Structure 1
Amino acid sequence: MSRNSEPPHSRMGSSSGRGFHHLALALLLSSQIQCALSVIFPSTHSSYKFDYLRRSPRLDPINGEAKRTLSKRENPIPLIVTNNCGDTLWPGVATQDGEGPESSGFELASGETRNMTVGPTWAGRVWGRTNCTVSNETATCVTGDCFGLLECEYSGAVPVTLAEFNLAGGDTRRQTFYDISLVDGYNLPLGIVYHPAANTSNIPPNFVNAACIATPGYLMAPNRTGIAYTNSSFPMPYEDSQTNSGISNWCPWDLQAFIPDKPGDGIYPYPDDNVERPVFDPCKSACAASNSAADCCTGDYNDPNVCKRSEYSESAKVVCPDAYSFAYDDQTSTFIIPSGGGWEVVFCPAGRSTNILATYGTQLSALASGGVVTEEMRKLAMNVSYIESVPGSSAPPGHRVSGLALVVTIVVTGLLSL
């Protein structure tokens, strides 16, 4: 991820050169439009239509009604973007619904933070663009590119790590749904940090602050717990099997965005595991690479009972247990909390990948359905022995079913086929 803000190369001068350039640009736009059309936003996925919050008059202070419509920019919600990586990034923001932030694409130097706001009904995604060549309103980036524009109008080109939000989800529009998504691939470590509001200040930080770190050099030493983006009272549950030396090989060889050359002149190449991979090694998802119905869960495979995890999804779930790894990964990847408070997207966060949903799935299910953190939940959130008793991501992903997964599976399965 090197900094590069030099003006782009000059255009070809001849008419034939211009014609070739226009054709190439048209093909690029066509390919990116297909990626944009295939994007699965959380609020459009069927499971996001289900409302976990019980319809109760006590939950609505206005005339005891279960629903209300929020006006535009009523109580603006903080959306903060922080770059903890060693190089400049160019974050992009795509808005699916509601009022988006004042900027949808900007430069963010290493160590800098950008403070923005969105409307309380906003739904969209945030990602990081890398190695961009910027000139005025254009920005051509190695990963996460937005049709060559600095301000993004659509989602970024794959592969890209995503932070996805629906701030007014469910039937009552009183819940926030969010996730870290690797459905479009992986390019940067990413964390989501919750900034509580008055009505959500009692939610333990180790219930909500998820992280996905699958790049060598960014992992702290293996440990089941830590205090990054939380505090010593509420230890964060971590994935504890990966190391900085071993995590570089998690991406299936053929899915690397930039496959390194193998020794042996291509005649008798060494096995994949003998080829050193670069630290910055973006990984395409199986869907992004093949665009097949089986990998993208479309067509005849648009069914959770038919569409299964790919090798990519299995690997992604091991290194980032809380991340969304394929289209029907809602059960072990979706966070649902009462609406309110602000959000911070952190690129290259400290610590390790979190393992929150496998550890506190039952408690998060109760929070989603009841909207209240009980004293029993808080005590369990402070219990290191309990966290250490829950298996980490070393267990096969298909064998880890949390309490939240059970609730989503039992209640939402019928909705997924709608």
Structure 2
Amino acid sequence: MVSSSRRRGANSVSSFCRVLVPTVAVGFLLSAAGVEGAQDVTKGSDEDLPHFPGRIRSPNRGEPKDPDRTIPLTITNKCDSTIWPGIATQAGKGPGTGGFELTQGKSKDLWVSWDWQGRVWGRTNCTVNGDSCSCKTGDCFGLLDCEASGSTPATLAEFTLAGGLHGKQTFYDLSLVDGYNLPMGVNFIPSKNTTFIPPNLTNCACIATPSWIYASSQTGTYYTNSSYPVPLETRVSSDNARSWCPWKYLAFPPTKPGDGIYPYPDDDIQRPEFSPCNSACAAYGTDEDCCVGKYHDPDVCKPSAYSKRAKIICPDAYSFAYDDQKSTFIIPNGGGWEVIMCPKGRSTNILRQLGDEMNELAQSGTLSDATQKKLKDVSYIVSEKSLGNHVLPIELMMASTALATALWLLV
């Protein structure tokens, strides 16, 4: 899920084959549908996924009217100060507000329609005067109740609640394509009528702020529970987090010494805890950085220094428009969502470490008993996985679908 301010012989056939072939065909069709969002977003053309090309329409006012088809959306502030969440709606019925004030330690429960498509972000260091709200990051044209997507840099949580085949899948992601301003997590809230999904497949986080990073660990339970530990990024220290953003992309670089001696830009100058980082596209807006024009091709547009570092510190987040390590989560739809501003812990590494399990869930809509058992096994969770252990490419799925369909037609 990508967001950018600029802008992913009949008679001889046995009766057994007549049953088997259509079953295989349907299976492959579901497989293709299950991953179509993850690949199409790389092409920047998937209508299922939320893209916000500049200013978007005002959010629908008033909560969704059908109580049987509404989805809970909770926003929680675990930052050490007040945050002003922003909400942008691209499709479906939004929560009836585009933004509000949320004090430290508080949550706000909202409702969106079952087919909602939109994004959530946090605004920081805001000055509020009535309906006006001027923010240091994430500002939306000076309004408290946003009528458009926010300015960069901003960490994003993006959702398409009714995507895929017949709208039966939910696509969501954390995105750094518009830059980074604060840590963010997304937690799935299961409902009574949803498929059981272990929380270490759904609950993701991006933490790139030093004071919020815990000591290195391969797994953790602070986003899940003791039965299903979540795989974590292990290489980043607090010092790394303080300096991960390339100097030229800093939204507010610290002041240099005033004695006429200017050290090399990316040096040991102490950076503040709050150090928002622009993406390459947000900083310079070139076709190359934004993957547009002649660079609108995954074989041509390559990750910038920002994107490479962002992917290290937040493996499960989108880092640029053609993020080749798939960064979209795909699960059966239903249930609700909590977006957490400033979770403490470490960034998750779910899509690399548990990619096969995510594929199984996307393809079949459920998990086998054997898979659920593996998701409790710490040794398996932390074992080295290949780069291929990601959501399968749509080309492979579609090729399989075509083969299965051809066999069915022959039958």
Match of 1:322 in 2: 316
Q: Is the 8 A contact 1:36 1:155 kept in 2?
A: no
- Looking at structure 2, the residues matched to 36 and 72 of structure 1 have their Cα atoms a distance apart, in angstroms, of 32
Q: Is the 8 A contact 1:74 1:120 kept in 2?
A: no
- Looking at structure 2, the residues matched to 285 and 412 of structure 1 have their Cα atoms a distance apart, in angstroms, of 33
Change (3 A) 1:171 1:202: closer
The answer to which of 191-200 and 71-80 deviates more is 71-80
The answer to whether the aligner puts 1:265 opposite 2:259 as a matched pair is yes
Partner amino acid for 1:346?
I
The answer to whether the aligner puts 1:38 opposite 2:38 as a matched pair is no
Match of 1:127 among 121, 132, 135: 121
Change (3 A) 1:384 1:104: same
Structure 2 matches for 1:102-181, cutoff 5 A?
102-181=96-175
Q: Is the 8 A contact 1:163 1:178 kept in 2?
A: yes
Structure 2 matches for 1:8-407, cutoff 5 A?
38=6, 45=41, 46=43, 49=46, 74-263=68-257, 265-269=259-263, 272-329=266-323, 331-390=325-384, 400-404=387-391, 406-407=392-393
Aligned residues: 352
| TM-score normalized by the length of structure 1 | 0.79
Q: Is the 8 A contact 2:5 2:282 kept in 1?
A: no
Q: Is the 8 A contact 1:331 1:409 kept in 2?
A: no
List per-residue Cα deviations over 1:63-117 (Å, max 9, x = no partner).
xxxxxxx996652100000000000000000000000002210000000000000
Residue 230 of structure 1 aligns to a residue whose secondary structure is: strand
Structure 1 position 263, deviation (Å) = 2.0
- Looking at structure 2, the residues matched to 273 and 241 of structure 1 have their Cα atoms a distance apart, in angstroms, of 20
- Looking at structure 2, the residues matched to 208 and 139 of structure 1 have their Cα atoms a distance apart, in angstroms, of 33
| TM-score normalized by the length of structure 2 | 0.81
Identity of paired residues, percent? 53
List per-residue Cα deviations over 1:336-391 (Å, max 9, x = no partner).
00000000000111221000000111111111111111112111110100122126
Residue 198 of structure 1 aligns to a residue whose secondary structure is: coil
- Looking at structure 2, the residues matched to 359 and 298 of structure 1 have their Cα atoms a distance apart, in angstroms, of 31
Change (3 A) 1:146 1:193: same
Partner amino acid for 2:388?
V
Structure 1 position 400, deviation (Å) = 3.1
CA RMSD, 1 decimal: 2.4
Partner amino acid for 1:258?
F
Q: Is the 8 A contact 1:176 1:339 kept in 2?
A: yes
Structure 1 position 306, deviation (Å) = 1.0
List per-residue Cα deviations over 1:319-347 (Å, max 9, x = no partner).
00000111112642100000000000001
- Looking at structure 2, the residues matched to 412 and 284 of structure 1 have their Cα atoms a distance apart, in angstroms, of 36
Partner amino acid for 1:117?
W
Structure 1 position 235, deviation (Å) = 0.6
Change (3 A) 1:49 1:74: farther
Partner amino acid for 1:303?
D
- Unaligned runs of 5+ residues in structure 1 are 1-34, 52-69, 392-398, 414-418
- Unaligned runs of 5+ residues in structure 2 are 9-36, 49-63, 400-411
Q: Is the 8 A contact 2:316 2:350 kept in 1?
A: yes
Q: Is the 8 A contact 2:195 2:365 kept in 1?
A: no
Partner amino acid for 1:261?
T
Q: Is the 8 A contact 1:332 1:402 kept in 2?
A: no
- Looking at structure 2, the residues matched to 252 and 120 of structure 1 have their Cα atoms a distance apart, in angstroms, of 40
Structure 1 position 267, deviation (Å) = 4.0
Q: Is the 8 A contact 2:195 2:366 kept in 1?
A: no
Residue 245 of structure 1 aligns to a residue whose secondary structure is: helix
- Looking at structure 2, the residues matched to 264 and 133 of structure 1 have their Cα atoms a distance apart, in angstroms, of 30
Structure 1 position 270, deviation (Å) = 5.0
Match of 2:11 in 1: none
- Looking at structure 1, the residues matched to 388 and 7 of structure 2 have their Cα atoms a distance apart, in angstroms, of 26
The answer to which of 264-273 and 238-247 deviates more is 264-273
Partner amino acid for 2:235?
S
Q: Is the 8 A contact 2:81 2:104 kept in 1?
A: yes
Q: Is the 8 A contact 1:264 1:270 kept in 2?
A: no
- Looking at structure 2, the residues matched to 48 and 196 of structure 1 have their Cα atoms a distance apart, in angstroms, of 30
